[in-house]
Amino acid sequence: MKITVIGSGYVGLVSGICFAKIGHEVVCVDKNSAKIAQLNSGEIPIYEPNLKELLAEAKEANKISFTTDFTSALKDAKAVFIAVGTPQGEDGSADLSYVLAAAQEIAEIADSPKLIITKSTVPAATGAKIQKLIAELNKQDLLFVASNPEFLREGSAIEDFMNPDRIVIGADNPKSFATLEEIYAYFPKEKLVKTDIVTAELIKYAANSFLAAKISFINEMADLCEKTGGNIRQLSRAIGLDSRIGDKFLKPGPGFGGSCFPKDILAILNIAKEYDVELSLIDSVVKSNKKRQMNMVKKISALLGNNLSGKKIGLLGLAFKGNTDDIRYSPAIFIAKELANNGADIFAHDFEAIKNARSELADFKNIHFISNLYEAADNRDILIIATEWPQYGEIDPSKISTKKIIDLRNILDGEKFRALGFEYFSIGEK
Ligand code: NAD
């Protein structure tokens, strides 16, 4: 099938390349001409494992192309995915302007039947807003709307897309469902979860809110372990063995970040407010996570005698999690800013996120970016591990003279470091 994907970011690009992999003819459109030029020359504008190789394969098979031109991109397409950003608006609600601009463009240009499918995470009733826009242009017999929220995770995006737990498709008529089934025919039929459009839109927010709550829960248990002398690694393993709970998302850390959870839980709260529904549990997750990040700064500061002025701090990790270059709402960035604002000198390392961090932190003259891990880590007043890049779990203690380490991801073997004379601090254990 000829498919157009609008927006070539983490979701649009991975989806487009994976649709090509499963045999569709894909055109990716983005407003950002620099991005499109890069993609046309075979480069990937983001860091995502194996994506470059998969792009080369799709290009070789002539299954994918990139353009900034909507008219040519939409020509003969049967399905158009909207995968543009839905960032946090000023009041916390999802900013729908990019989604509606893309929908408007499709509706104005389209002259043959198409199914418009929102892959972006959008609030309940966005489908209805797009339908209204189509009706205003009198194209309701040509254009139909569906919802297909995306659940891929940065860092394992291809694996997640190609082996999904489920594929949610929300539509309001048999023809739209048939088109969606054709698009996803490569996957086992039982993976498809068919819903109405509003439910599909809500499922994504419900899933992210639940996962965010799980992280905040284990972080609060870590606090309790710390004060009572318990051990969060053991606690987490034991509760995770209960199949009703499951072992995922039970690792304590500096609080959740990233481009999805923080904005999506605020967005669902705004949806609830609009419909006069109280979501007090999710409300408390927002508060808990905010406190969490600040508590990490306090913890680090306390280890430095509550005086950060002139302190030299090694910071391992800037991305919001390992295996990505994404720093949006990254707790590591929050911590770096707070420490720098209080007079510390930060020596920051990351495997892929330095470029993004450099531009985000350009105003901070006391944050230095170091591409060599050991150079960033060595000879500091304290070393912080802020992102769970697997390589940080394997750092060689013999190459670090910094004696104080705070491991906000619990990825080091604390006993080993202590035995070698390090003062090792972690989360939720003595
Ligand atoms: P992104 O910021 O990486 O990419 C968005 C892209 O859309 C950009 O390249 C931008 O130039 C382009 N764009 C914006 N307006 C456009 C327009 N009118 N026409 C053409 N291109 C346009 O965003 P992302 O992280 O890929 O997220 C996209 C959506 O998917 C969001 O709603 C997000 O919540 C959701 N989502 C993200 C993830 C994730 O892990 N990043 C996972 C699941 C769902």
Alpha-carbon torsion angle 382, 387, 390, 393, nearest 10 = 20
Please confirm, yes or no, whether 18 is among the known catalytic residues.
Answer: no
Does pTM top 0.85 for this prediction?
A: yes
Strand, coil or helix: what is 2? strand
CB of 6 within 6 A of ligand 1: the answer is: yes
What local confidence, expressed as pLDDT, does residue 174 receive?
98
CB of 152 within 6 A of ligand 1: the answer is: yes
Write the CA distances from 331 to 86, 189, 300, integer angstroms.
20, 39, 14
What local confidence, expressed as pLDDT, does residue 279 receive?
98
| Cα(7) to centroid(ligand 1), Å | 6
Buried (b) or exposed (e) across 391-420, using 16+ Cβ within 10 A? ebeebebeebebebbbbbbbbbebeebeee
CB of 30 within 6 A of ligand 1: the answer is: yes
DSSP 189: G
* H helical segments located in 41-96: 51-60, 70-74
Per-residue pLDDT of the chain (430 residues; tens, 9 = 90+): 999 999 999 999 999 999 999 999 999 999 999 999 999 999 999 999 999 999 999 999 999 999 999 999 999 999 999 999 999 999 999 999 999 999 999 999 999 999 999 999 999 999 999 999 999 999 999 999 999 999 999 999 999 999 999 999 999 999 999 999 999 999 999 999 999 999 999 999 999 999 999 999 999 999 999 999 999 999 999 999 999 999 999 999 999 999 999 999 999 999 999 999 999 999 999 999 999 999 999 999 999 999 999 999 999 999 999 999 999 999 999 999 999 999 999 999 999 999 999 999 999 999 999 999 999 999 999 999 999 999 999 999 999 999 999 999 999 999 999 999 999 999 999 7
Q: Where are the beta strands (DSSP E) in 87-234?
A: 114-118, 143-147, 167-170, 192-195
CB of 121 within 6 A of ligand 1: the answer is: yes
What local confidence, expressed as pLDDT, does residue 430 receive?
79
Give, using CA atoms, the residue closest to atom 27 of ligand 1.
85
DSSP 242: S
**Is 214 within 8 Å of 250 (Cβ atoms)?**
yes
CB of 86 within 6 A of ligand 1: the answer is: yes
- Report the alpha-carbon distance of residue 238 to residue 224 in Å, rounded: 16
From 18, 28, 225, 260, the catalytic residue:
260
- Report the alpha-carbon distance of residue 142 to residue 225 in Å, rounded: 59
What local confidence, expressed as pLDDT, does residue 224 receive?
98
> Which of 259, 264, 329, when mutated, tests ligand 1's pocket best, judged by the most ligand atoms within 8 Å of its CB?
259
Give, using CA atoms, the residue closest to atom 2 of ligand 1.
85
| Cα(178) to centroid(ligand 1), Å | 26
* Tokens linked to 194: 């068919």
| Cα(33) to centroid(ligand 1), Å | 15
CB of 311 within 6 A of ligand 1: the answer is: no
